[in-house]
Structure 1
Amino acid sequence: MADHGLKFEIESKTVAEFRSLNKSGELILQPEYQRQVVWPDRARVSLMETILLGYPIPEIYLAYETSPDGEQKASVVDGQQRLTSLLWFLDNKFALDGLEDEKLKEKFEGMFFRELPADVRQEFFQYRFPIRRLSNLADEFVRAVFARVNRVNMVLTEQELRNALLPGPFNDFLKDCAAHPISAVSGVFSGERRRRGGDLEFYAEVFSTCVFGLSNKKAELDERYDKISADFEHYQDRAAEFLALLAFLKDTIKWVGRTRWSNIVDMFTLLHVSWGVREDLSNADLQRTGQIRDLLDLFQRAVSAKKRKDENGEIAAFSASLSSMLQMAPEEVDDVIEGYMSGIRNSSDLGSRRARSQNLSLLLVKKLKG
């Protein structure tokens, strides 16, 4: 058994003690490696119901760090969702809606904490949480414990585990990508996807594809992620170019309502193909940039019309406009659209990704070189 000098002490804390720790600033609910708050209201209410019933809950892991001056902080390694829900309830941020126990439902349904009877609130404050205390551990060991506990419990996504185990410049770069205005204006990420790190994983996958080439996501992403994270300095110039590309596309694409580029699959392809011609795009004058904008807009409209089986009879008009713009025969344009469409099915396998990229690239390169 490995011996890292780890100290795991078992103790307990009351609800009142957690409230005091939080108010004094000694409780760090969301260390850098922690995921965001993702529990739905029903889970929060269920936890409060468990406390009201006096039933036990799983232990909470706290990592304590004491400074040479005697100042102490407690970081939540495991139990962030539970403690955040608890403190929110104490702050009257949600009510007891949807209680399952019939007796509690009859007494307290719909009540905020402040509305509970005084004796119930007093007892609630005295409820004890089981604590696993980690004392003065190096950050790497705390992160390892966090990842190990959550991997065993199967509650973290792969990206949430990467965030915990691989902090540093690459992770910071991915956060910059996720926070870029293109993420908001495109509407490509749902709230749930962002909360579970899906936006970071998307940009990690796209950037690694731009650097190393197309691959099957499941087979390659972890290996590529580790490689870039271990030597991000080597990739910093390309990271800067990638952020510049995001800015170009954000300002160039016609973001009117939801477009094809609002879908993960299509945005992935757009970024990968644009990366291949990034120098030509950055050197394009205003007229050529406007033509690229129109080309990409016509293309995504044509694909959407084809996907909905051209219910409005628009595909012919879109194909004709693309044909005229690119000086291609209409049947060639139709073949490109059909080829791209074939890559939307089984969207993450290598063949599908290649089909999408090859067909969009054909049009984009023809316009830039023409």
Structure 2
Amino acid sequence: MADHGLKFEIESKTVAEFRSLDKSGELILQPEYQRQAVWPERAKVSLMETILLGYPIPEIYLSYETSPEGEQTASVVDGQQRLTSLLGFLNNKFPLDGLEDEQLREKFEGKFFKELPDDVRQEFFQYRFPIRRLSNLADEFVRAVFARVNRVNMVLTEQELRNALLPGPFNDFLKDCSAHEISSLSGVFSGERRKRGGDLEFYAEVFGTCIFGLSNKKAELNERYDKISSDFEDYRDRAAEFLKLLTYLGDTVKWVGRTRWSNIVDMFTLLHSSWGLREDLYGAGQGRATQVRELLDLFQRAVSVRKRKGENGEAAGLLESLAAMTGITVTEAESVVDDYTSGIRNSSDLGSRRVRSQQLTFLLSKKLAS
């Protein structure tokens, strides 16, 4: 058994003690490796109900650090969702809606914490959480504990584990991508996907694909992520190029309502195809950028019509316009759209990804060469 000098002291803390730690600024609820608060209201209420009933709750892991000046902080390694919910209830952020226990429901349904009787609030403050205390450990060990505990409990996504175990410049770059204007313009990420790190995983996968080529997501994502993370200096220039491409597409694509580019599958293809043509795209001038904008809009509309099996007349008009814009025949345009649409199925499959990228790259190349 490996010996890292880890010490896990067992103790307990009351709700009142956690509130005091939070008010004094000594409690760090969301260390850099932690995920965002994602619990739905029903889960929060269920935890408050458990406390009101006096039932036990799984232990919380706290990592304590003491400075040479004697200042102490406690970072939440495991239990962030529970403590965030607890403090939210104490601060009257949500009421007790949907209580399961009949007696509690009759007394407290719909009430905020401040509306509970004095004796109930006093007893609530005295409820004790079991604590595992980690004292003055190196950051790498705290992260390892966080990842190990959550992996065993099956509560983290793969990307949340990567965020915990692989901090640093690559992770910072992915956050820059996620914060880029194109992420909000496209509407490609739901709030839930962002909370669970899905946006970071998406950009990690696309960037890895731009560097190393198309692959099956499940087969190579982790390997590529580890390589880029450990040697990010070798990829820093290409990371800057990738952000430049995001800016170009953010300024060029017609972001009106929800388009094909608002889907993960299509956005992935757009970024990968554009990466290979980026020098031609940048050098084409404003007039050509406008034409690229119209081409991408026309193409995504044609794919949408094909996918939902729209009227033949509608499809025919779009295909004719697409052919005229790129200098190909209507038959070729129809083949491109059909092949791309077929590649949307089994979207993470290597063959499907290759088909989509080939067809979109073909159209963009035709337009840029005309």
**TM-score, normalised via structure 1 length:** 0.99
Question: 2:172 corresponds to which residue?
Answer: 172
Deviation string, structure 1 residues 272-291 (Cα, Å, up to 9, x no partner): 00000011111111111111
AA partner of residue 276 (structure 1):
G
AA partner of residue 254 (structure 1):
K
Question: 2:228 corresponds to which residue?
Answer: 228
Q: Distance in 2 between matches of 1:116 and 1:262?
A: 45
**1:85-234 aligned within 5 A:** 85-234=85-234
Question: 1:10 corresponds to which residue?
Answer: 10
Deviation of 1:312 (Å): 7.6
AA partner of residue 59 (structure 2):
E
Deviation string, structure 1 residues 1-35 (Cα, Å, up to 9, x no partner): 11111110000000000000000000000000000
SS at match of 1:314: helix
AA partner of residue 246 (structure 1):
L
Question: 1:285 corresponds to which residue?
Answer: 285
Question: 1:261 corresponds to which residue?
Answer: 261
Deviation string, structure 1 residues 218-275 (Cα, Å, up to 9, x no partner): 0000000000000100000000000000000001000000000000000000000000
Question: 1:45 corresponds to which residue?
Answer: 45
Structure 1 residues 66 and 312, CA gap change in structure 2 (3 angstroms): farther
SS at match of 2:346: coil
Question: 1:68 corresponds to which residue?
Answer: 68
Q: Distance in 1 between matches of 2:141 and 2:314?
A: 59
Contact 2:327 2:366 in 1 (8 A): no
AA partner of residue 192 (structure 1):
E
Q: Distance in 2 between matches of 1:131 and 1:293?
A: 56
Deviation string, structure 1 residues 37-65 (Cα, Å, up to 9, x no partner): 00000000000000000000000000000
Give identity over the alignment, percent.
81
Aligned length: 370
Deviation of 1:366 (Å): 1.0
Deviation of 1:116 (Å): 0.0
AA partner of residue 285 (structure 1):
G
Contact 2:302 2:315 in 1 (8 A): yes
AA partner of residue 317 (structure 2):
A
Structure 1 residues 127 and 312, CA gap change in structure 2 (3 angstroms): farther
Deviation of 1:326 (Å): 1.2
**1:317-336 aligned within 5 A:** 317-336=317-336
Deviation string, structure 1 residues 57-88 (Cα, Å, up to 9, x no partner): 00000000001111000000000000000000
Q: Distance in 2 between matches of 1:73 and 1:365?
A: 57
Q: Distance in 2 between matches of 1:162 and 1:171?
A: 9
Q: Distance in 2 between matches of 1:160 and 1:41?
A: 21
SS at match of 2:62: strand
Q: Distance in 2 between matches of 1:326 and 1:107?
A: 70
SS at match of 2:12: strand
Q: Distance in 2 between matches of 1:223 and 1:204?
A: 11
Question: 1:32 corresponds to which residue?
Answer: 32
Moved more, 207-216 or 286-295: 286-295
SS at match of 1:132: strand
Contact 2:78 2:149 in 1 (8 A): yes
AA partner of residue 302 (structure 1):
A
Q: Distance in 2 between matches of 1:193 and 1:284?
A: 35
Q: Distance in 2 between matches of 1:323 and 1:367?
A: 10
AA partner of residue 35 (structure 1):
R
Q: Distance in 2 between matches of 1:44 and 1:317?
A: 53
**TM-score, normalised via structure 2 length:** 0.99
Contact 2:252 2:293 in 1 (8 A): yes
Deviation of 1:342 (Å): 1.2
Contact 2:61 2:131 in 1 (8 A): yes
Question: 2:58 corresponds to which residue?
Answer: 58
AA partner of residue 71 (structure 2):
E
Q: Distance in 2 between matches of 1:212 and 1:268?
A: 15
Moved more, 280-289 or 44-53: 280-289
Can you give the 5+ residue segments of structure 1 that lack an aligned partner in the other structure?
none
Structure 1 stretches of at least 4 aligned residues deviating more than 2 Å after TM superposition: none
Structure 1 residues 45 and 311, CA gap change in structure 2 (3 angstroms): farther
